[in-house]
Structure 1
Amino acid sequence: MTLRAPERPARRARRRRGYALFALFAFPNLALIAVFAYWPILANLYLSLTSWDFISPEPLYVGLTNYTSMLASPSFHKVLWVSVVWVVVVVGISLVLGVLLALLFSRKLPGTSAVTGIVFTPHVVSGAAIAVVWLFIFDPNYGLARVVFEAFGADSPDWTTDADWALPALLIVSIWKGVGFVSIVYLAGIQGLPTDVLEAARLDGAGPVQTFLRVMLPLLSPTTFFLVITQTIGAFQAFDIIAVMTSGGPASATTTLSWFIYEQAFLRSNVGLSAAAGTVMFVLLMLITALQFRFVEKRVHY
C-alpha cells in the first residue's frame, strides 16, 4: 500500500487561483441567468397561486384555484387545441418546405443567391410589419388574394374575421415568415455533407430521390433535430402576428397559449390566471423538449 504524497503548497496555491479565476468569470454570467431567467420563473409560479389585478397592494393567495378553474374550462381546452394545431402545422410545413428550398438553393442555379436573400428576408423583418402587409393581401375587397380567387370565379373569404379562415390565414403568414430561416439552416447542413458518401450513393445507382431519402436526410438528422426544438419553442411563443391580425379572434379561433397569457394579464387584469397559463406553457415546453431528447435524439446520426 502506497501513501499519496502530500500536495505541494505551490500546487495548492495554483489550484486556488484557478478556482478563483473561474468564479470571477463565471459569477457575472450565473448572476445574470439567475436574475433574468430563474427568478422570473419562480416569481411567475408564486403569482399563479394568487389572485391579483395589478391594482391591489398585495396579491391574494388562493392556492391551486387558478389551475383547477383553468384546466376545467372548455375555453382553455380550445386554447390548448389551437396551440397544438399551430405548433404542428407551422413546424411540420416549415421543415418540409425548408429542406426542399435548401435542395433547390444548393444547386447553384443562376440567381440563386438573390432568391436565397429574398426568402430569408421575412425572418429578419418585424412580425408586426409583416402582419400589416398580409392584412392588405387578405383584404377581401382590395387585397391581392382577391385576384387569385377571382381567377377561379370565386369570392375572396373574410380571412381575418371569419372563424373558419382566421387560423389558416395566420398559419400561412407564420410559415412564410419562418421558412427562410429553416431553409438557410438546412442549406448550411447540405453544404457540410461529406461529398464522398453522396458520390458513393450515385455510383451504386441511387437516383436523386433515393439519395435524398436514404442518404441526405439521415445525415441531416442533427440539423433536423436542432430545427424541431427551436421551431417548436418559437411556435409556442408566437405573438406579434396574432396581435396585429386577429387579436386572438374571431371567437377565440386564433387564441394560442401565448395570446391567452397576454389577454388574461393585460386585457382582463387577471394576473394569477395568466401566470398559471404561463406555468402550463413552461411545463409543456419542458416535457416536449425532454421527450425529443429522450426519443428523437436516438434517430440522430452524428
Structure 2
Amino acid sequence: MPDRRFALLLMAPAAVFMAVFVAWPLVRLVADSLYDIDALADTRSFVGLANYADLLADPDFRAAAWRTAVYTAVVVAAEFTLGLAAALLFHTLGQRSRLLRTLFLYPLMIAPVVAGLLWRFLLVDNFGLLNDLLTRVGLISGPDAIGWLSDPDIVLFSVALPDIWLTTSFVALVLFAGLQNIPGDVVEAARLDGASPAQTLFRIILPLLRPVIAVVLIVRGIDAARAFDIIAIQTNGGPQQASETLSLLVYRTMVRFGEPGPAAAATLYLVAMLVVAVAAFGALWRPGGKP
C-alpha cells in the first residue's frame, strides 16, 4: 500500500469522529443562528442576520467579549512567562531536574472542576485558607479584608488563578521539549562571543523557539478563551456578571433561558478565535526562516 494511502487510512477514524462530533454540530450551530427558535412551541422562523445584529447591539455580549479578552490575555501571559522560566530552569539543570519536572506536572493531571473547587475553598471570603494565611502573617487585617470571589473589581483575575496554576505545567513541558531541539553549539558560540544571558535568550533562544511558541500561544489562547467549567464552579459568572465570559453567556442564553437562536449567533465568537489564531500563526510560525 502506498504511504499516502496508508496515512489516509490511519487518519480516517479521527476524521470521521471530527466530522460527526465537531463539524456537523458547527454546521447546525451556524444554521440555527439564522432562525428565531422557540424550543417550547417547537417553531422556527427564518430571521436572517437579525440574531447577529441583536447580539452586536447587546451590552451584555460586548461586556462578556471584553472580559473574555482580558481573561485570555492574563492567563496566557502569566502561563507563558512562568512556563518559560520553568522550562529554562529545567533545561539548565538537565538530568537533575527529573524529579522537579515530575512534581511540576502534577497539576496537569487534575480535572478543571476539581481545580475550581480547590481554589474556591482557598479564595472564598471570611473562611478562605488564603485570607486566613495572610491574616496570620499580618499582611491583611482580617479574613474578610480581600473579597477574591466577591469583589467585582478583582474577581476576573481571581478566577484566572486556578487556570494559571493548572496549565502552566503544560506550557513548561512544551517549551522544555522545544529547548531540547536547540543546537547547543549555537548557544555556546553566542556565549563565547560575549553575549549576555538576556541577549542569548532574546536573540538566540526565543527566535529559534518561534514555532513552539506559536503552538503554545494558539492552543492555550483558544483554550483560555473558551474557559467555562473552572469559572462556573467558582462564581458562575458573578458577582454582578463581573466574571461572566462568552462561554458562560452562551450557556446562560441557550440552556438556562432557552434561546438557541441568539446563542447560536455566538458563532461570531468562533470566527473571532479563528482570526486571532490565524494571525498569531502567521506572525510567529517561521520554522527554518530568518528570526
Q: TM-score, normalised by structure 2?
A: 0.89
Other structure's SS at 2:205 match: helix
C-alpha contact (below 8 Å) 1:219/1:301 kept by paired residues? no
What is the CA–CA distance in structure 2 between the aligned matches of 1:185 and 1:250, rounded to whole Å?
Answer: 35
Residues 1:288 and 2:276 aligned together: yes
Answer yes or no: is the 8 Å Cα contact 2:211–2:287 preserved in 1.
Answer: no
2:39 alignment partner, SS class: coil
d(CA) in 2 for partners of 1:217, 1:23 = 35
Alignment of 1:212-223 (within 5 A): 212-223=201-212
Q: Which residue of 1 aligns with 2:163?
A: 174
Using the TM superposition, give the Cα deviation of residue 208 of structure 1 relative to its aligned residue in structure 2, in angstroms.
Answer: 2.0
| Alignment check: 8 A CA contact 1:222 1:300 kept | no
2:183 is equivalent to residue 198 of structure 1: no
Partners of 2:66 and 2:287 lie apart in 1 by: 28
Partner residue of 1:78? 63
Q: Is 1:113 aligned to 2:113, yes or no?
A: no
Give me the whole-angstrom Cα distance separating, in 2, the residues matched to 1:297 and 1:253. 35
The partner residue of 1:245 within 230, 234, 238 is: 234
CA distance in structure 1 between the partners assigned to 2:7 and 2:209 by the alignment: 36
Instruction: Report how far residue 256 of structure 1 moved.
Output: 0.9
- Once the two structures are superposed, residues 184-205 of structure 1 have per-residue CA deviations (whole angstroms, 9 ceiling, x without a partner) of 1111111221011111111112
Q: Which amino acid aligns with 1:284?
A: A
1:81-92 aligned at under 5 Å gives the runs 81-92=66-77
Alignment match, 2:130:
145
Q: d(CA) in 1 for partners of 2:196 and 2:269?
A: 44
**Residues 191 and 200 in structure 2, CA contact (< 8 A), matched pair in contact too:** yes
Task: Indicate yes or no: 2:108 matched with 1:123.
Answer: yes
- What is the number of equivalent residue pairs in this alignment? 286
CA shift for structure 1 position 292: 1.9
1:235-289 Cα offsets, whole Å, 9 max, x none, are: 1111111110011111111111111111111111111111111x01111111112
* Aligned residue identity for 2:17: L
The question of whether the paired residues in 2 share the 8 Å contact of 1:79 and 1:257 is answered with yes
Equivalent position of 2:246 in the other structure: 257
- The Cα of 1:120 is off from its aligned counterpart by 1.7
Change (3 A) 1:182 1:301: farther
Shift of 1:89: 1.1
Per the TM alignment, residue 294 of structure 1 is displaced from its structure 2 partner at its CA by 3.0
Cα distance in 1, alignment partners of residues 171 and 4 from structure 2? 41
- Which AA in structure 2 matches 1:122? P
1:53 to partner: Cα distance: 4.4
Partner of 1:4 in structure 2? Answer: none
Contact 1:137/1:145 (<8 A) preserved: yes
Name the structure 2 match of 1:154: 141
In structure 2, how many angstroms separate the alpha carbons of the residues matched to 1:209 and 1:41?
45
Q: What is the percentage of aligned positions where both structures have the same residue? A: 33
Give the distance between the partners of 2:223 and 2:43, measured in 1 at CA.
33
Q: CA deviation at 1:29?
A: 4.8
Structure 2 residue ranges without an equivalent (≥5): none
Q: Distance in 1 between matches of 2:168 and 2:288?
A: 22
Cα drift, residue 131 of structure 1: 0.8
**TM-superposition CA deviations, 1:64-101 (whole Å, max 9, x none):** 22111110011211011001101111111211111011
Q: If you compute each CA radius of gyration, which structure gives the higher value, 1 or 2?
A: 1
Distance 1:20 1:109 in 2: 41
Contact 1:128–1:241 (CA under 8 A) maintained in structure 2:
yes
